[in-house]
Amino acid sequence: MTMSFKGKPSRRAFLKGAVAAGGTLASASVAKAEADPLITEVQDWASYTGDGVDATPYGLPIEYEADVVRRNVEWLTADTISSINFTPIHALDGTITPQGCAFERHHSGAIELRKEDYRLMINGLVDTPLIFTYEDLERFPRENHVYFCECAANTGMEWAGAQLNGAQFTHGMIHNMEYSGVSLRTLLEEAGLDVAGDLKDKWVYVEGADASSNGRSIPMEKALDDVLVAFKANGEALRMEHGYPVRLVVPGWEGNMWVKWLRRIEVTDQAIESREETSKYTDTLEDGTSRKWTWVMDAKSVVTSPSPQSPIKHGKGPLVVTGLAWSGRGSITGVDVSLDGGMTWQEARLAAPGTDKALTRFYLDINWNGEEMFLQSRARDSSGYVQPTKAQLRDVRGLNSIYHNNCIQTWWVKSNGEAENVEVS
């Protein structure tokens, strides 16, 4: 094609170049500069034609965005089959996460399961154990909801200290999508819950069709509240890596419970206490006892830009500080931002009012004086919860919890615009 520019410089080289070029640009605005050839000369794209409508039946981002991708941390897990990667939240805006870069967590790899081969079983303490096909699910009344899905281990590597240098790696085990599906309540009622008797001490055990057979116990009250059996996300079919053709959506609760390739729902009179709800996803405290059933993801936020992977390249002056906030206990009611490491705070602007168990985008538009900042954000939710500092969390939980780290994050933004993950006093 006509546009042959492929030479994307590395981020670090680009940053160095931008800092150097910054001086040139600044002086250019003072002295009379040479005219910009991008304007004065006819460019290829303004002269030749581009791609036809048949060139890309299903589009990917343009090649210049090739660095906005999921990344994994090799040393975290023994291999990539049972592992996790991270959403590039530092490079996204708005609140909806595109499926193609939304983080993945598999316990035995992402499987290919055709709709035609899909079966969903409901068994256990139900009046009639049932089998549904994918087509059956499409015939139940449908709902649409936007929810965040956060892995309980998000920010888990940061318990003992500042470790990973980038919002993608510290906070990228999260995505936020609009789901279409059937309420779990509808399916349970179709099977009938009379035989289960008193529902207050009953559970549903949900399990996936992949080789890990990931299974979790969910209390009946939650199952009948807002849990969705979803088959579309952001308007299109779920991606394979997110559980195609059907996954569970458990709003506000840890991502491990959002069972992918959902194949079975069993009504039980006790928690199964599977591996993922005993040996994993439990929170060990300083005295060696561990919390279990810590399903709710507490209020949390992070500045996504500027951040280590998204440095300031334009020098001092107008600067958009932006980030994400969310709470599993309800909606975000406000976000405060500190530029000085938590000595003083100012209220950020929410791009839209917070909604139930979904990501909220916040902005703080400042005139940066070019001096170093210790950027922090602090989420508040509709339950009255205020996101704690890491020190506050450690006071209660110690250093060994691994999961559910919702502490306030600090980015040290230096005068050259680079940012680093730090802990501050």
Residues 386-405 that bind other proteins (CB under 8 A): 386-388, 392, 396, 399-400
DSSP 8-state code for residue 58: S
Least distance in angstroms from the C-beta of 391 to other proteins: 10
Q: Do 357 and 326 form a contact (C-beta atoms < 8 A)?
A: yes
- Asked whether 26 and 315 are in contact (CB, 8 A), the reply is yes
Distances (CA, A) of 101 to 86, 242, 311: 8, 11, 21
147 binds other proteins (CB under 8 A): no
One of 27, 144, 278, 369 touching other proteins (CB under 8 A) = 278
354 is a contact residue toward other proteins (CB under 8 A): no
N-to-C CA span, the chain: 55
CB of 245 to other proteins, least distance (A): 16
Distant-in-sequence, close-in-space partners of 189: CB < 8 Å, separation ≥ 6: none
Phi, psi of 264, deg, nearest 5: -150, 140
**Are the C-beta atoms of 302 and 409 separated by less than 8 Å?**
yes
Q: How far is the CB of 169 from other proteins (least distance, A)?
A: 6
Residue 237 binds other proteins, judged by CB under 8 A: no
Q: Tell me how far apart the alpha carbons of residues 233 and 114 are, in angstroms, rounded to a whole number.
A: 17
Stretch binding other proteins (CB under 8 A), from 36-44, 56-64, 262-270, 314-322? 262-270
Shortest reach from residue 242's CB to other proteins, in Å: 20
Residues in binding contact with other proteins, number by CB under 8 A: 114
Quote the least distance from Cβ 414 to other proteins, whole Å.
11
Q: State yes or no: residue 105 binds other proteins (CB under 8 A).
A: no
For 30, residues 6+ apart whose C-beta sits below 8 A from its C-beta are: none
188 is a site residue for other proteins (CB under 8 A): yes
Shortest distance (Å) from residue 151 CB to other proteins: 17
Stretch that binds other proteins, among 41-49, 57-65, 95-103, 204-212 (CB under 8 A): 204-212
What is the separation of C-alpha 21 from the centre of its chain, rounded to a whole number of angstroms?
34
Residue 334 DSSP one-character state = E
Residue among 98, 99, 142, 213 that touches other proteins (CB under 8 A): 213
**Applying CB under 8 A, which part among 30-38, 49-57, 147-155, 210-218 lies near other proteins?**
210-218
Least Å from the CB of residue 238 to other proteins: 21
- For other proteins, the closer of residues 16 and 178 by Cβ is 16
- Give residue 6's identity as a one-letter amino acid code: K
**Amino acid identity for residue 259 in this structure:** V
Which of 2, 108, 144, 369 touches other proteins by CB under 8 A? 108
The DSSP H or E segment spanning 168 is helix 167-171
Q: Which of 65, 189, 365, 371 binds other proteins (CB under 8 A)?
A: 189
The Cα-based distances of 344 to 15, 77, 302, 340 in angstroms read 29, 39, 17, 7
114/73 Cα distance (integer angstroms)? 30
Nearer to other proteins, 179 or 411 (CB): 411
Cβ–Cβ < 8 Å for 252, 296 = yes
Query: Which is nearer to other proteins, 32 or 200 (by Cβ)?
Result: 200
Residue type, 297: M
Can residue 7 be called a binding residue for other proteins (CB under 8 A)?
A: no
Q: Which of 105, 145, 175, 222 binds other proteins (CB under 8 A)?
A: 222
If the CB atoms of residues 159 and 368 are measured against other proteins, the closer one turns out to be: 159
Residue 96: what residue type?
I
Question: Could you say which residues in the range 18-77 bind other proteins, by CB under 8 A?
Answer: 67, 71-75, 77
Q: How far is the CB of 395 from other proteins (least distance, A)?
A: 10
**Residues in region 155-184 near other proteins by CB under 8 A:** 161-166, 169
Q: CA 331, 332, 336 angle in degrees (round to 5)?
A: 170
DSSP-based three-state secondary structure for 101: helix
Output 238 or 328, the one with its CB closest to other proteins.
328
Residues between 367 and 386 that touch other proteins (CB under 8 A): 374, 378, 380, 383-386
| Cβ proximity to other proteins, 126 vs 359, nearer residue | 126
At which residue do the structure tokens 């087509």 appear? 135
